[in-house]
A and B are shown apart, each in its own frame.
Chain A
Amino acid sequence: MRAEQYLAPETLAQLGPFELRAKRIAEGVMSGMHRSPYQGLAVEFAEHRQYVAGDPVRHIDWKVFGRSDKLYLKRFQQETNLDIHVMVDSSGSMRFGTLGSKEGWGGTQTGRAARWTKFDHATAAAAAMAFLGLSQRDRVSTEMFGPKLIAATRCSNSQGHWRAIVQCLATHAVDGKADLPRAVDELLSRGTHRSLVVIISDFLMPHQQVRDSLARLRHRGHDVILVRVLDREELRFELDENAPFEGLEGEAMLEVDARSVRQAYLDVLAEDEKALERLVRGFGFDLVRLDTHDSVGPALAALLSRRETLLRGGGS
């Protein structure tokens, strides 16, 4: 798959004005534009704090002591590079899609299947995030997960890493039942620094799994963006058939009169959305939902804009 299939010009144009910033302090190994949790080693002054016993004396601002005869410590804020881990759900439910061809997507047609699936949309979003990170000199890795973490790239910002990312996104089967906690455990077991984790999935899984996963990431100090990708048909359920429904992850077949169950489905979906939203909000993370029939760019741009606004102290 060619890179432009993931990075349509209009997507890049929509993402260009924004800087991808971690909402929380990220631990980086390179100097960058993200705030570092390690103060005092960097070049940018942050604040003064009154000296208490035990503080290292080398951080005392002697000029202030000379003027006011009081001991204050100088605190600095170090800007570091950001590690971005983009996790893409490749479980069977991501095979679902109802869009025949993706218009406004660089002139490209659908990818692996005859339809533009949620997985296609997820990989497109992942590529955009990765490219944005790389363009900021942040280190980026991609992880594909299903029942487990089935593929991953190393976390790097080196030249040529983009090719590895694209290869990772393009060459793996979309099947099985997603196990997000296990994938997160495997990611964390690699000993990553505190970083930004972007999880792109339909999150059609028990919310307890999401809760467990986010709790572990939160415990390890990572910032998390959840990108929920749903097909428009899943959002609107405009089927008229009275037919059996067959799951993509081996679920039992259901006899459904689509018209009669539609409203109940939409209600359940809305409740699921709210529940997931509450869950994510509770951890202080971000959640964005993408519709496979829409472009990736506007949604991500809106997300990043909102995050930047929050970092600058506006909004809630």
Chain B
Amino acid sequence: MSALSFASPGLAVAAGVAVAVPIAIHLLLRRRRSPVEWAAMDLLREALRRVDRKRRVERWLLLAVRCLVVACAGFAIAAPFIGTASAGIRSARTLVVVIDDSAASNERLGTEDGGGTAFERSVAAAKAAIEALAPGDRVALVPMSHPASVSRDSASLDHRGALQRLTSMGATESVCDIPAAMEAASTVLSNEESAGTQREILLASAFRAGSVGAMPPLPKMGNDGAEVSIAATNPPAAQGANLQVTGVEAERLAGTGPDAPASLRITVRRDRGDGPLRTTVRVAGPTMTAPVERALELGAGERERSTSVTITERPADPASTLRRAVVVSISPDAQPVDDARATVLPPTDRLRVAVVDRRSFDAASALDRLPAGDWVARALAPGEPATIDVTQVDPVALDARTAAVSDAIVIAEPQLLNAGQWAMLASFVARGGMVAVLPAARERVQAWTGQFGTTFAIPWKMGIEARERAQPTALAGEQPGSSYLAALSGELPQLAPAVDVFRSVDVDASVDPGAVQLTLQDGTAFLLSWRPANARGTVMLFTSAIDLGWTTLPLKPLMVPLWQEMVAEGRRRASTAQVASVGSQPEIDRQGVVELRPVSPDGASMPGVRTVPVGAGGRTSMPLERGGLLEMLDSGGRPQGMLAAVIDGSVTSVAPTDQDRVRGWLAFAGTFTWVGDAGSTTGSGESTATAPAARSNGSLAPALFAAALLFAVVEAFLARRFSHAVKSGGILRNQAHQAHDVPRIASGGSR
């Protein structure tokens, strides 16, 4: 049995209401006007009597035709169709397709799943669902990639447009944000308040670990309590192993100079597959003389393996220093997105350290009177050839120009600095510099600690008076594992205990235990580090002055590697801050950078890949879309550095997710069902809510449009006909013998 239905019942109702428009016009046109004086009222009354009935018929006929024009046009827009009368046919559907276009969707599927990518599979399922919609059903698209966005604020009747948007979409390398996507879908469904509308969500995803993650149960979809049907595409089979490059770090080796070959520590992790794996690690970079390849094997069940690769770079020059970066890739596998990882290498030019101390005219006359600045300078540049340029600066001469030419500044007499100089140091740290502060050796009261804490927003509690220890206290042999001194970690147990401390400033860093880099045997801090918020640089604080009256450190073997590693690591960390996650909008702290240009591993430009603009505040105006290298360019197109866009391994993971876990995850959101490829329902006896049958036997819209057009033509004809717009000549013109100035005369018969 066929029944008439409307794709948009609301529009059909509106069409019915619109019929009132010509009626209203008809009534309004009957309004009273100023009376016309007339003499031949009897003739007029008789004429009116004759035409009254005819005129009434004409008016009603015209009104009826006009109503038909409006009604036909309105009903045609409402898209009526004749379909089979089955359950659900009467109610329109609103389908929100939540499609996985995140990094995990780049997975290459096996041949039994079509051989394409997971994203292409999701697109095919979404297209099948959309194509199965009836003309009046509404559809919306919500991508899962972060940030979640709805292609339209509300669902649309434009199925073809939705299909085109699907076709134009592509898998991204962004994080999957299903909660945000489902919230957007819920918002779309909440806007569809028509009673009786079926509200459905299709989750088109492979539901890999990178997409689902550790998801808590989703809240119920829709805000008005109406049931929402949720369908999810069946996860494809997990075929093929996947390895991820999860770490690339430039190793810092103690004692190596700036011109030494760089060493990279590369970590590869197994994401999927348990058998033995073999891959080839390839390292390429803009400044490398040639790419380096190395074979890497993971044994059965081995989850992760690291290897060190030494790379050779071209001779350093100012331009290439700004482009030091590498891209580490492995052999292609099931997930191509995590097969490469970029990183920015620390600069290799000579370290420049400014040591701020009061100048001593009798320096070197006796070791016990050697000032702290001299000790530090000797430690940083112990002999020729020096790898670090050390400049000794008087406290009163410390200014921004000194900071501009320094990678690190050592403050040996902090009590002599004024507020402006402290502010300059804060700016220096923010830009990536390292500031090492020593207590004033000749002062008992360390009044500068307050200014120091305020300037760098230090969370620790610091005493203002040096504490004289009753017994010398040695550095602990078991150090907390300083990340700044990682290169010395093997030697510290031997070197540290040889250092005695006689006097120190108490610092309570219990609120920030990670700040302590070196401790004394009594547990008190000897060296602490602090990175202020939004700063690329580091602040280091010694609790003892580098003075023989405070500690024996200057005389011990730890002195030289401690200072050299500390400043070298500080600069390296500043450079590694130029790494950002895909999907984020990183803040670029280099002055004058206006855009980020993606470059290939060898540094060449990539035509067709759009650049990322950098706003006035230094933050990119759009999220990073792809992993890889991006070159910072100023307004003149000159390189200012490199930025590595990296993807976290957890985001790209293609480890399969158990279906029960997905079901449990979606259990509270709505009525759940699985659908197979192309939108067809699979599973054990589950409903077919998202498998719409072909419901439309034929649309009546074209016929109604034609009828509306026909009625419009009839209306125009009748309106002209009934309006009597075509005038006859009147009684004077009708009577041929009554030309102008010829009177009509009737005379009697006989004369």
Say if the beta carbon of A170 comes within 8 Å of chain B.
no
Contact A260 B29 (CB under 8 A): no
B50: which of A253, A268, A269, A285 is its contact (CB, 8 Å)?
Answer: A268
CB distance from B237 to the nearest CB of A (A): 79
CB distance from A125 to the nearest CB of B (A): 11
CB distance from B276 to the nearest CB of A (A): 97
Say if the beta carbon of A171 comes within 8 Å of chain B.
no
Say if the beta carbon of A316 comes within 8 Å of chain B.
yes
Stretch of B279-287, B371-379, B608-616, B719-727 that contacts chain A? B719-727
Contact B722 A260 (CB under 8 A): yes
B748: which of A204, A235, A242, A281 is its contact (CB, 8 Å)?
Answer: A281
Contact B731 A235 (CB under 8 A): yes
Say if the beta carbon of A23 comes within 8 Å of chain B.
yes
Say if the beta carbon of A168 comes within 8 Å of chain B.
no
Which residues of chain A from 268 to 309 have a CB within 8 Å of any chain B CB? 268-270, 272-273, 277, 280-281, 283-291, 294-295, 298-299, 302-303, 306-307
Contact B35 A246 (CB under 8 A): yes
Contact B36 A288 (CB under 8 A): no
Cα A206 to Cα B35 with chains together (Å) = 25
Contact A288 B731 (CB under 8 A): no
CB distance from B51 to the nearest CB of A (A): 4
Contact A254 B48 (CB under 8 A): yes
Say if the beta carbon of A238 comes within 8 Å of chain B.
yes
Say if the beta carbon of B684 comes within 8 Å of chain A.
no
Say if the beta carbon of A311 comes within 8 Å of chain B.
yes
Cα A259 to Cα B37 with chains together (Å) = 16
Say if the beta carbon of A212 comes within 8 Å of chain B.
no
Q: Inter-chain contact count A-B, CB under 8 Å? A: 174
CB distance from A177 to the nearest CB of B (A): 11
Contact B48 A261 (CB under 8 A): yes
Which residues of chain B from 46 to 84 have a CB within 8 Å of any chain A CB? 46-48, 50-51, 55, 58
Stretch of B147-155, B400-408, B736-744 that contacts chain A? B736-744
Contact of A303 with B743 at beta-carbon distance under 8 Å, contacts A239-B36, A259-B723 already known: yes
Cα A232 to Cα B730 with chains together (Å) = 10
Contact pattern, B 26-44, Cβ under 8 Å of A = 1, otherwise 0: 0001001111111111111
Say if the beta carbon of B471 comes within 8 Å of chain A.
no
Contact of A310 with B742 at beta-carbon distance under 8 Å, contacts A204-B43, A260-B55 already known: no
A202: which of B39, B45, B47, B743 is its contact (CB, 8 Å)?
Answer: B39
Say if the beta carbon of B2 comes within 8 Å of chain A.
no
Contact B724 A260 (CB under 8 A): yes
CB distance from A283 to the nearest CB of B (A): 7
Say if the beta carbon of A245 comes within 8 Å of chain B.
yes
Say if the beta carbon of B728 comes within 8 Å of chain A.
yes
CB distance from A182 to the nearest CB of B (A): 19
Say if the beta carbon of B256 comes within 8 Å of chain A.
no
Say if the beta carbon of B732 comes within 8 Å of chain A.
yes
Of the candidates B33, B50, B743, the one having the most CB atoms from chain A within 10 angstroms of its own CB is B743
Say if the beta carbon of A55 comes within 8 Å of chain B.
no
Cα A291 to Cα B742 with chains together (Å) = 10
Contact B750 A284 (CB under 8 A): yes
Say if the beta carbon of A62 comes within 8 Å of chain B.
no
Which residues of chain A from 19 to 76 have a CB within 8 Å of any chain B CB? 23
Which residues in B have their C-beta under 8 angstroms from that of A245? 35-38, 41, 44
Say if the beta carbon of B747 comes within 8 Å of chain A.
yes
Cα A272 to Cα B43 with chains together (Å) = 8
Cα A237 to Cα B41 with chains together (Å) = 12
Cα A269 to Cα B47 with chains together (Å) = 9
Which residues in B have their C-beta under 8 angstroms from that of A237? 730
Say if the beta carbon of B318 comes within 8 Å of chain A.
no
Which residues of chain B from 491 to 526 have a CB within 8 Å of any chain A CB? none
Cα A206 to Cα B41 with chains together (Å) = 12
Contact A268 B723 (CB under 8 A): no
Cα A316 to Cα B745 with chains together (Å) = 13
Say if the beta carbon of A114 comes within 8 Å of chain B.
no
Cα A296 to Cα B292 with chains together (Å) = 121
Contact A265 B44 (CB under 8 A): yes
For residue B725, which residue of chain A has the nearest CB?
Answer: A259
Which residues in A have their C-beta under 8 angstroms from that of B729? 236
Interface residues on A, range: 35 or more
Cα A234 to Cα B42 with chains together (Å) = 12
Say if the beta carbon of A243 comes within 8 Å of chain B.
yes
Contact of A260 with B36 at beta-carbon distance under 8 Å, contacts A283-B748, A288-B745 already known: no
Contact B41 A254 (CB under 8 A): yes
CB distance from A121 to the nearest CB of B (A): 12
CB distance from A294 to the nearest CB of B (A): 5
Of the candidates B47, B48, B50, the one having the most CB atoms from chain A within 10 angstroms of its own CB is B47
Contact A302 B44 (CB under 8 A): no
Which residues in B have their C-beta under 8 angstroms from that of A206? 42
CB distance from A200 to the nearest CB of B (A): 13
Contact pattern, A 228-262, Cβ under 8 Å of B = 1, otherwise 0: 00111011111101111111110101101101111
Cα A290 to Cα B722 with chains together (Å) = 32
For residue B743, which residue of chain A has the nearest CB?
Answer: A299
For residue B38, which residue of chain A has the nearest CB?
Answer: A245
Say if the beta carbon of A96 comes within 8 Å of chain B.
yes
Contact B746 A243 (CB under 8 A): no
Cα A94 to Cα B38 with chains together (Å) = 10
Contact B751 A311 (CB under 8 A): yes
A264: which of B38, B48, B723, B733 is its contact (CB, 8 Å)?
Answer: B48
Say if the beta carbon of B685 comes within 8 Å of chain A.
no
Contact B40 A287 (CB under 8 A): no
For residue B55, which residue of chain A has the nearest CB?
Answer: A260
Which residues in B have their C-beta under 8 angstroms from that of A269? 40, 43, 731
Which residues in A have their C-beta under 8 angstroms from that of B746? 277, 280-281, 286-288
Contact B48 A23 (CB under 8 A): no
Contact pattern, B 396-430, Cβ under 8 Å of A = 1, otherwise 0: 00000000000000000000000000000000000
Say if the beta carbon of A93 comes within 8 Å of chain B.
yes
For residue A274, which residue of chain B has the nearest CB?
Answer: B746
Which residues in B have their C-beta under 8 angstroms from that of A294? 740-741, 743
Say if the beta carbon of B749 comes within 8 Å of chain A.
yes
Contact A270 B743 (CB under 8 A): no
Say if the beta carbon of A266 comes within 8 Å of chain B.
yes
Which residues of chain B from 685 to 713 have a CB within 8 Å of any chain A CB? none
Cα A32 to Cα B506 with chains together (Å) = 157
Contact of A256 with B44 at beta-carbon distance under 8 Å, contacts A235-B731, A244-B33, A302-B745 already known: yes
Contact A257 B55 (CB under 8 A): yes
For residue A277, which residue of chain B has the nearest CB?
Answer: B746
Contact A261 B44 (CB under 8 A): yes
Say if the beta carbon of B111 comes within 8 Å of chain A.
no
Contact of A243 with B38 at beta-carbon distance under 8 Å, contacts A280-B746, A310-B751 already known: no
Cα A303 to Cα B748 with chains together (Å) = 12
CB distance from B33 to the nearest CB of A (A): 4
Contact B36 A204 (CB under 8 A): no
Cα A167 to Cα B741 with chains together (Å) = 29
Cα A243 to Cα B751 with chains together (Å) = 47
Cα A282 to Cα B41 with chains together (Å) = 26
Say if the beta carbon of A135 comes within 8 Å of chain B.
no
A-B contact pairs, 12 of them (CB 8 A): A93-B39, A93-B40, A95-B39, A246-B36, A262-B727, A266-B728, A277-B746, A287-B746, A288-B746, A294-B740, A294-B741, A307-B751
Interface residues of chain B, those whose CB is within 8 Å of chain A, are: 29, 32-48, 50-51, 55, 58, 722-725, 727-734, 740-751
Known A-B contacts: A238-B730, A256-B44, A261-B51. Give 6 more (CB < 8 A).
A234-B39, A243-B33, A259-B725, A261-B48, A266-B734, A299-B745
